[in-house]
Amino acid sequence: MSLKNAKVLTISQYIMPFTEGTEMAQAARQLPQGMLDRGNEIRVFMPKFGCINERRHQLHEVIRLSGMNLIINDTDHALLIKVASVPNVRMQVYFIDNEEYFKRKSTTHDAEGNFHPDNDERALFFARGVLETVRKLGWAPDIIHCHGWMTAFVPLYVKHHFNDDPHFENAKLVFSVYDDKAEAIDKDLAKKLTLEGFNKDLLKGLNKPTTDDLYKLGVSMSDAVVKGSAKLGRTLENAIKGSEKPMLGYTSEADRLQAHADFYHNVLEEALV
């Protein structure tokens, strides 16, 4: 049974053609477009990394959605929302932008291959920015599908910050895990999250955090999990197995859309039981 007339929110670290060359970028482009073609409503979000060419991709600011300030680690940051259309299809992508976090001409690593030390704050800003924008749009998703460790705070916010918000109260969270090299995250992450109002009990696995720990956090807070890569490291395999949540195994590009449509449908059906 496939999905129809559902509202699917896709939040991804990477999306083609704006960022190339990863399985995540390909999946996060293929799935929402396919869901749209099958008669569902979609909204799609990614970070506006500085290496994305705004002129070539014809990005423009959405003034009515921009202008909010988000406080991250006790500092005010202006939220800018931009939008672009994927060429030759009806799919629009919203971009979360901010001068300080997303201006640099790279994604998560600098030119020398060093992991940006503020990637934790960038991920927090991105998660909050997406959810605040969805609220501003007055749109209530049925499925929220998160791709990549940079989206790992979305399930945490939905379950423990916006849990009474009518926009998200019926949403089911699906989290895709990919085979990324584990990178060390700022050791003060748990402290920053307590400033956001999160209970310390939720943050137990974040004492010496890595991107793998963000993946584990995303898995633990979601309703269902997808293996986005054919092979994952043992830590992540064990986290998925131990979560005992509905799980969709790795699917090739040819089978991905049908498998996800069925999976979304089952996750929503299960919610009704």
pLDDT at 75: 85
Instruction: Write out pLDDT tens, residues 164-182.
Output: 899 999 999 999 999 999 9
Structural domain contains residue 2: no
Give percent above pLDDT 90 in the chain: 83
Structural domain contains residue 112: yes
Alpha helices in 38-163 (DSSP H): 99-102, 119-137, 153-160
Instruction: Write out pLDDT tens, residues 50-87.
Output: 999 999 999 999 999 988 888 888 889 999 999 999 98
For residue 165, report the phi and psi dihedrals to the nearest 5 degrees: -80, 125
Query: Which residue type is seen at 211?
Result: T
The residue segments making up the domain with residue 60 are: 7-272
Judge if the upstream peptide bond of residue 17 is cis by omega within 30 degrees of 0.
yes
Residues in the chain: 273
Structural domain contains residue 227: yes
Report the predicted TM-score, pTM, of the whole model to 2 decimal places: 0.96
Query: Average pLDDT, whole number, for the chain?
Result: 93
Instruction: Write out pLDDT tens, residues 181-224.
Output: 999 999 999 999 998 889 988 888 898 999 999 999 999 999 99
For residue 104, report the phi and psi dihedrals to the nearest 5 degrees: -55, 145
User: Domain containing 63 — which CATH number?
Assistant: 3.40.50.2000
- 5-23 average pLDDT score: 94
Structural domain contains residue 19: yes
pLDDT at 3: 73
Q: Is 89 within 8 Å of 68 (Cβ atoms)? A: no
Q: For the chain, what is the domain count? A: 1
